[in-house]
Chain A
Amino acid sequence: MQITVTVNGDEHTADVEPRLLLVHFLRDTLGLTGTHWGCDTSNCGVCVVWLDGTPVKSCTVLAVMADGRTVRTVEGLADGATLDPVQQGFVQCHGLQCGFCTPGMMMTARWLLDRNPDPSENEIREAISGQACRCTGYENIVRSVQWAAVNKS
């Protein structure tokens, strides 16, 4: 099936099988390996990307479901050479530990801050509650998001 998906502002057309998952389309077809892939059961959240502006777990979305829609991945966070405040926060506060959960965490954090520029610690923890960090370094991740909230750039 031919699909056209706008990813981080660029239109991509590809011929895919209906059973191809969005996470594999992004990683294998488009080579955008920033989006990670872990549990495969919608539990760990490392595969979170935005679909039409909303974070979803891309291991449970078919690529064909994204036909005609827009996707934003971690590669689309920075504005050229300028990192998004969320990315800067992860650098400043050591939120980027082994880095495996980082892309999903950042996509959810950006979405949270767009809707709620000044979240409480609880609101941050609630927002990322569907995402597992194997380093269990949630303290630094929460601090990174708080840093981004303060340093809006």
Chain B
Amino acid sequence: MQVPAHFEYERATSVDHALALLAKWGSEARVVAGGHSLIPMMKLRLARPEALIDINDLEELAYVRLDGDVLAVGAMTRHADLLASPLVGEHYPIFHDAERVIADPVVRNRGTVGGSLCQADPSEDLSAAFAAVGAAAVVRGPGGERKVPVREFHTGPYETVVAPGELLIEIVVPVRPGGGSAYEKVERRVGDWAVAAAGAAVWLDGDTVSDAGIGLTAVGAAHFHAPEAEEFLRGSPATDANLVEAGRIAAAHCEPVADQRGPSDYKKHLAGELTTRALRRAVERARGAI
């Protein structure tokens, strides 16, 4: 029987209350959202907080909405709700693609968008999807609020810019016309973490790629991101040859580690292939196909 070590439990009733509780307990406290990463880590003694601040009552952080021309996703939005959101499907289908292959329906009922980003697992899917679309994270602390591009949010495996005493509040994505997005993942079995996965967002001006975003996960891409391949695509025609070349460039800049999910060269191959496939689908969607 795996049970966490002893800790104190407090339930926050508002964002301000959560910040006050974090201040009260200091750096030994952790917030618990869905608990689907933190509680298993506590069972295995990979995490041993002295106090857990439960933020499940913070309904104020559970939303997907359009704020002007920005898609805003609250940190406490459950995976299942991101998957069910028609707004997301309309503006950024990449998130529906990704959510369909994150864990399983029951885990998705509980796990949250904010918890996923803050966990910063090197194989985390939403981090790659948010990196692809150029999202920013809104972080609130005792000193107020700051906005950090998702591409600067992760500072290493399991590490983010969120300091003790701070909360991730929401993730914002600019909604821009003329775009398409998609996510492609290879896993060993349904609901498993990625062997490799790639997300792509493309904006077209006629047949030219006016802007592109590429996110990668599980393949050792710095900040879940493929800037060299994006740079190659910007201003180029959206031909299949160019999408293949972008995949090749993305793969060349990855450093996957060999593990039980496969050898490094296989993962590198997947990084390139999945980048190209995600780009192809994103381009099709930008051109109006579904």
Contacts and interface: CB of A to CB of B under 8 A. Distances in A.
Interface of A: 1, 17-21, 24, 40-43, 45, 48, 54-57, 60-62, 64-65, 67, 108, 126-127, 129-131
Given A62-B35, A129-B190, A57 B106 contact: yes
A42 B103 CA distance: 10
Contacts of A129: 104-105, 190-191
Tier of interface size on chain B: 20 to 34
Interface in B1-31: 1-9, 11
Interface stretch (B36-44, B168-176, B199-207): B36-44
18 contacts: A19-B6, A19-B7, A21-B39, A24-B1, A40-B43, A42-B40, A45-B106, A55-B109, A57-B106, A57-B110, A60-B39, A61-B110, A62-B32, A64-B9, A129-B190, A130-B103, A131-B104, A131-B106
Given A42-B107, A57-B106, A130-B191, 5 more contacts: A24-B3, A57-B107, A65-B54, A129-B190, A130-B107
Contacts of B1: 24, 40
Contacts of B217: none
A74 to B, nearest CB: 15
Contacts of B4: 19
Contacts of B6: 17-19
B56 interface: yes
A112 to B, nearest CB: 9
B197 to A, nearest CB: 18
A58 to B, nearest CB: 10
A40 B2 contact: yes
A41 B147 CA distance: 34
B105 A127 contact: yes
Q: A-B pairs with the 9 shortest C-beta distances?
A: A130-B104, A18-B9, A130-B106, A19-B4, A40-B2, A129-B190, A54-B109, A56-B110, A129-B104
